[in-house]
Structure 1
Amino acid sequence: MGKASVIVYITIAVLLLLLISQSPNKGNKHRRHRRLKLRSNFTFSPPADGHLHHHDRIHFDPIVADIERKREDKEWEKMYIETHHPELKSSEEHAPGEQAQPEWEDFIDAEDYLNDEEKFNVTNRLVMLFPKIDIDPPDGYVSERELTQWNLEQSRRDVLHRTEREMETHDKNRDGFVSFAEYEPPTWVQKSESNSVGYDMGWWKEEHFNASDMDGDGLLNITEFNDFLHPADSTNPKLLLWLCKEEIRERDSDKDGKVNFNEFFHGLFDLVRNYDEEGHNTSHHSDDSGSTPARKLFDELDKDGDGFLSDVELLPIIEKLHPSERYYAKQQADYIIQQADSDKDGRLTLSEMIDSPYVFYSAIFNEDEESDYEEYHDEFR
């Protein structure tokens, strides 16, 4: 960033802070009615559909993300002990005095930190973060593309942190790799029957592991293990093809190894349409004539014209069947711009961001106080 851009940012920031400090009612309008509250994304529960889609809201502010990661680590540690080492939990319950206090309470004051303006002032945070987002180009505006990239970086940091935590758990010999023998499926998979969605979809089988093993050495390094846990975000062609095979296996109701039009129409087409046209009318048309959008897409995908879709032929739409972190980062960026872009030019100035601060921090609002703030939104909780 050039010296001129830095000077402009500093000048704008100083002026805005001076104006806010001289107008206490305006500067405190939102904070007077809102208490920021941390919420963890952590869960030990299986995904509802057996897919490892990630729909958690993305933290805008790295400070908030770091606090929540630490709290999530404590929750994870507690749940892991209860699930895998119940004997440690029993001994902990009978421990005397301060030894019996759970470690995750160390972060009980984090919300006080967030709600102390001397320590965490939302306006100051936006002033500080703005030039970190406005980088391509640094022109005094945050575009949808820049905000999407910012959200994506925050999301990837969270995902990698969880992967590193899982890696530490499964890497039994501490060599920096996970073998298939070392990997233990989640408890909910282990307890499932053989016809459950976890086994039927093959998420925890050796085929999935081998597809994630990019270099074919029989071990997963941190990048490969991250792909294993989050295949929708991988660029590994073997893993993407494996995802396609899993879709064929799931949607192939007559078990002929391929997907015909009816199987496509009643299973996959809605996922594609949901991706392309959020909020569409999901009513089905009973006919399968060539004039329907589903038939048109099916014919485009059916490259060999045999009337069936193979795993390879699903590759062009696999990212729509399994949305990546970039998809959700863009979705959140679009929402933020829609809410904060007062002049409707499709981009955000620092002033617009400061005028709508809780669009960026709404994910950690305490919803019990919603009645005091008419413009409150909590879309990405």
Structure 2
Amino acid sequence: MSFPPITSEWTSAPNSQVPTASSAHFSKQKPHTKLNKKKKNERKKKERGAAESAMARSPAARKPSAAQTVAVTLALALASAGLLFLLFHLSPSSPTPHPHPHRRLRLRGARASPSPRGQIPFDPVIAGLERRRDDREWERLAAAGLHAPGFEAAPVPEDYIDGGGGFGADPDEDYINDAARFNLTRRVEALFPKIDVDPADGAVTPAELTAWNLASARREVMHRTARELDLHDRDHDGRIAFSEYERPSWAWRFDDHNSSNDGVGWWKEEHFNASDMDGDGFLNLIEFNDFLHPADTTNPKLINWLCKEEVRERDKDNDGKLNFQEFYNGLFYSIRHFDEEASTDDSNASDAPARKSFTHLDLDNDGLLSADELKPIIGNLHPPEHFYAKQQADYVITQADTNKDGQLSLQEMIENPYVFYSALFTEDDYGFHDELR
């Protein structure tokens, strides 16, 4: 048997020695250990570099500049302010108070009577709220059966409706006292061009303000008249026969000799027929309004009836006319403030102003005043809505006319809003006084 020649690395080199076990072990392990240490060092360097890179990239590791700090602070402040603005204005429980904290706008109390006297609403929004309040009270009385014929004019105490007796405060008053929802300046700015119309010259005159007040008053009166007509119109034909109308329950207190304008004569058929301008036996809405408010009528029959009533209520000797004493004791004191000379006479003992007025009215010089001779003063005895509209306009202008030119600019109205809007004030607001309340 033959063997191949040995050609291993152990015999190829002439000077090589056959390695022993120990020498072979050390010759192989020593290079490997150095390599591992090198790799570990490189790995540690890489890990250290990666950590440093990560820290460098982290926002927390970077120190922000002053400009960046200011920008972030400003952004946070704006965001907070925006959030507070939204919460404040969107919250229904956070009304914006008026600039004058001691003044609170008031709505008039509900009235059951179809012919109230009081301040004429300047703002149609206020008029609408008060009309709605009146209608609610009207419906309440109707539901309680108090609007059966004969009960329609029962007075309702204003303090009871305003929370003094049982109905509670009206939320409408909270609305008109929230400056964010009902801003007086913006309301005046919106209404000014609607008042300044004759001509539209940038100034509101007494005549323009009187016309504005009169239109507002007539709307309210007609609204109540329509409501009253609906109550009495039993067959719902839009008109009233005398048989459908009954005088108010309180009229029984007055008799034919009572000197009050609320005497029984005002509820008799003669009054009804005098209001029936077309003579058809019925009163339509316009005629019924004249019946309830004869002071504003242009119906000659009704004016003549008014004059006869003045004579009837004061004619003590029943001769159908008024002598001087009957005139002096009755009518003169009702009209004296319309007579400048009489109103400035401080002499209580002198009847000279009364005699002068009597002589002026006694056209036939018979020493007596007939019903026809009272026609020139019937407007003083029964002032129409125009009288009250002008009275209120004159008062408002004297209060708000800061430059005393007899008219109002937009700026004057903006600076004096509470002159136009009736107000209630607390004890702390001593400077405010509202003559019209």
Interval of TM-score (by shorter of Structure 1 and Structure 2): 0.7 to 0.9
The question of whether the paired residues in 2 share the 8 Å contact of 1:38 and 1:111 is answered with: yes
The question of whether the paired residues in 2 share the 8 Å contact of 1:260 and 1:308 is answered with: yes
Structure 1 position 190, deviation (Å): 4.8
- Could you tell me which residue of structure 2 aligns to residue 31 of structure 1? 100
Instruction: Tell me, in whole angstroms, the C-alpha distance in 2 between the residues paired with 1:298 and 1:279.
Output: 12
Instruction: Tell me, in whole angstroms, the C-alpha distance in 2 between the residues paired with 1:109 and 1:141.
Output: 35
Structure 1 position 280, deviation (Å): 3.7
Instruction: Tell me, in whole angstroms, the C-alpha distance in 1 between the residues paired with 2:282 and 2:255.
Output: 28
- Could you tell me which residue of structure 2 aligns to residue 305 of structure 1? 365
Of the three residues 170, 174, 190, the one matched with 2:232 is 170
- Calculate the TM-score normalised by the size of structure 2: 0.68
- Could you tell me the percent identity over the aligned residues? 55
Of the three residues 304, 328, 337, the one matched with 1:274 is 337
Question: Comparing 120-129 with 265-274, which one deviates more in the overlay?
Answer: 265-274
Q: Give the SS at the match of 1:366.
A: strand
Of the three residues 387, 402, 412, the one matched with 1:352 is 412
- Could you tell me which residue of structure 2 aligns to residue 378 of structure 1? 434
Structure 1 position 266, deviation (Å): 1.6
- Could you tell me which residue of structure 2 aligns to residue 188 of structure 1? 250
- Calculate the TM-score normalised by the size of structure 1: 0.78
Counterpart mapping for 1:42-121 below 5 A: 42-43=111-112, 55-80=117-142, 81-84=144-147, 108-121=170-183
Instruction: Tell me, in whole angstroms, the C-alpha distance in 2 between the residues paired with 1:30 and 1:282.
Output: 45
- Could you tell me which residue of structure 1 aligns to residue 310 of structure 2? 247
Instruction: Tell me, in whole angstroms, the C-alpha distance in 2 between the residues paired with 1:278 and 1:181.
Output: 47
| RMSD across aligned positions (CA) | 2.6
Q: Residues 189-242 of structure 1: CA distance to partner in whole angstroms, max 9, x if unpaired?
A: 257667665774501000000010000000001000000000001111111111
Return the letter of the residue paired with 2:400.
A
Q: Give the SS at the match of 2:266.
A: coil
Instruction: Tell me, in whole angstroms, the C-alpha distance in 2 between the residues paired with 1:273 and 1:178.
Output: 38
Instruction: Tell me, in whole angstroms, the C-alpha distance in 2 between the residues paired with 1:297 and 1:194.
Output: 27
- Could you tell me which residue of structure 1 aligns to residue 275 of structure 2? 212
Structure 1 position 250, deviation (Å): 0.9
Instruction: Tell me, in whole angstroms, the C-alpha distance in 2 between the residues paired with 1:282 and 1:161.
Output: 42
Instruction: Tell me, in whole angstroms, the C-alpha distance in 2 between the residues paired with 1:314 and 1:296.
Output: 15
Q: Which 5+ residue runs of structure 2 have no aligned equivalent?
A: 1-96, 149-165
Greater length-normalized contact order (CA 8 Å, ≥ 6 residues apart): 1
Seen in structure 2, the aligned counterparts of structure 1 residues 200 and 327 have a Cα distance that, compared at 3 Å, is closer
Of the three residues 386, 389, 392, the one matched with 1:326 is 386
Structure 1 position 287, deviation (Å): 5.5
Structure 1 position 303, deviation (Å): 1.3
Return the letter of the residue paired with 2:186.
N
Counterpart mapping for 1:108-147 below 5 A: 108-147=170-209
- Could you tell me which residue of structure 2 aligns to residue 336 of structure 1? 396
The question of whether the paired residues in 1 share the 8 Å contact of 2:110 and 2:137 is answered with: no
Seen in structure 2, the aligned counterparts of structure 1 residues 57 and 159 have a Cα distance that, compared at 3 Å, is same
Return the letter of the residue paired with 2:246.
E
Seen in structure 2, the aligned counterparts of structure 1 residues 225 and 360 have a Cα distance that, compared at 3 Å, is same
Q: Which 5+ residue runs of structure 1 have no aligned equivalent?
A: 1-27, 46-51, 86-103
Seen in structure 2, the aligned counterparts of structure 1 residues 107 and 132 have a Cα distance that, compared at 3 Å, is farther
Structure 1 position 302, deviation (Å): 1.1
Q: Give the SS at the match of 1:35.
A: strand
Of the three residues 344, 366, 371, the one matched with 2:424 is 366
Return the letter of the residue paired with 1:31.
H
Structure 1 position 271, deviation (Å): 1.6
Q: Residues 33-83 of structure 1: CA distance to partner in whole angstroms, max 9, x if unpaired?
A: 3221212251459xxxxxx7x531111011001100110111123234352
Seen in structure 2, the aligned counterparts of structure 1 residues 370 and 358 have a Cα distance that, compared at 3 Å, is farther
Question: Comparing 218-227 with 297-306, which one deviates more in the overlay?
Answer: 297-306
The question of whether the paired residues in 1 share the 8 Å contact of 2:147 and 2:231 is answered with: no
